Structure 1
Amino acid sequence: MILPFATTNDDKLKEAERVLKPHGIEVTPLRLTLMEPDTGSIEAVAWEKLKQVCELGYERVMVDDAGIFFAAYPHFPGILTKRVFDRIGYKGILKLLEGESRQAWFEGAMGVIWDGERAVFSAKTPGRLLGKVPQNMPDEPGFPFNRIFVPDGETRTFAQMSLEEREAYSYRGQVLHRIASWLINQGI
Structure 2
Amino acid sequence: MARKFTGNKIVIASHNEGKVREINELLAPFGVEAISAKTLGLPEPEENGDSFIANAEIKAVAAALVSQIPALADDSGLEVNALAGDPGIFSARWAGPKKDFSAAMARVIEEMDDDPDRGANFTCALSLAWPDGHVESFEGKVFGELVWPMRGEKGFGYDPIFVAKGESRTFAEMDPAEKHAMSHRADAFRQLIAACFQNVA
TM score, norm. by length of structure 2: 0.80
| Superposed CA offset, 1:99-148 (max 9, x none) | 222111111111112353321111011111103234xx4485xx231111
Tell me which residue corresponds to 1:7. Answer: 14
- Residue by residue over 1:27-54, the C-alpha shift from the partner in whole angstroms, topping out at 9 and shown as x without a partner, is 2222233234355110111122233235
C-alpha distance 80-44 of structure 1, shift in aligned 2 (>3 A): same
After the TM superposition, which of the residue ranges 1-10 and 148-157 deviates more from structure 2? Answer: 1-10
> Secondary structure of the residue that 1:182 maps to in structure 2?
helix
Unaligned 5+ residue runs, structure 1?
Answer: none
* TM-aligned CA distance change 1:178 to 1:27, over 3 Å: farther
Quick one: distance in 1 between partners of 2:199 and 2:154?
40
What is aligned with 1:177? 190
TM-score by length of 1: 0.84
Moved more, 35-44 or 86-95: 86-95
Mean Cα displacement is larger for which, 2-11 or 103-112?
Answer: 2-11
Q: Quick check: 1:85–1:93 contact (8 Å CA) kept in 2?
A: no
The partner residue of 1:104 within 106, 113, 120 is: 120
1:42 maps onto 2:52 in alignment: yes
Residue 128 of structure 2 aligns to which amino acid in structure 1? V
Secondary structure at the counterpart of residue 144 of structure 1: coil
Match of 1:149 in 2: 162
Change (3 A) 1:11 1:73: same
Unaligned stretches of 5+ residues in structure 2 = 1-7
Q: Say if 1:15 and 1:173, in contact at 8 Å, map to a contact too.
A: no
Change (3 A) 1:55 1:17: closer
Structure 1 residues 39 and 76: alpha-carbon distance in aligned structure 2, compared to 1, 3 A threshold: farther
Whether the 8 Å contact between 2:123 and 2:142 is mirrored in structure 1 is yes
The more displaced of 104-113 and 74-83 is 74-83
Mapped contact 1:121–1:178 kept (Cα < 8 A):
yes
Encode CA deviations 1:38-74: one digit per residue, 9 max, x unaligned.
5511011112223323553534111111110001122
Residue 185 of structure 1, CA deviation: 5.5
Q: 1:12 to 1:80 in 2, by over 3 A?
A: same
Q: Give the equivalent residue in structure 2 for 1:26.
A: 33
Report how many residues are paired: 184
On the 8 A contact 1:147/1:158 being kept in 2, the answer is yes
Percent identity, aligned pairs only, is: 25
Quick one: distance in 1 between partners of 2:198 and 2:174?
A: 33
| Contact 2:77-2:122 within 8 A present in 1 as well | yes
Higher strand share: 1
SS of match in other structure, 2:86: strand
Whole-Å Cα distance in 2 between the matches of residues 17 and 90 of structure 1? 26
Q: 2:77–2:90: 8 Å Cα contact kept in structure 1?
A: yes
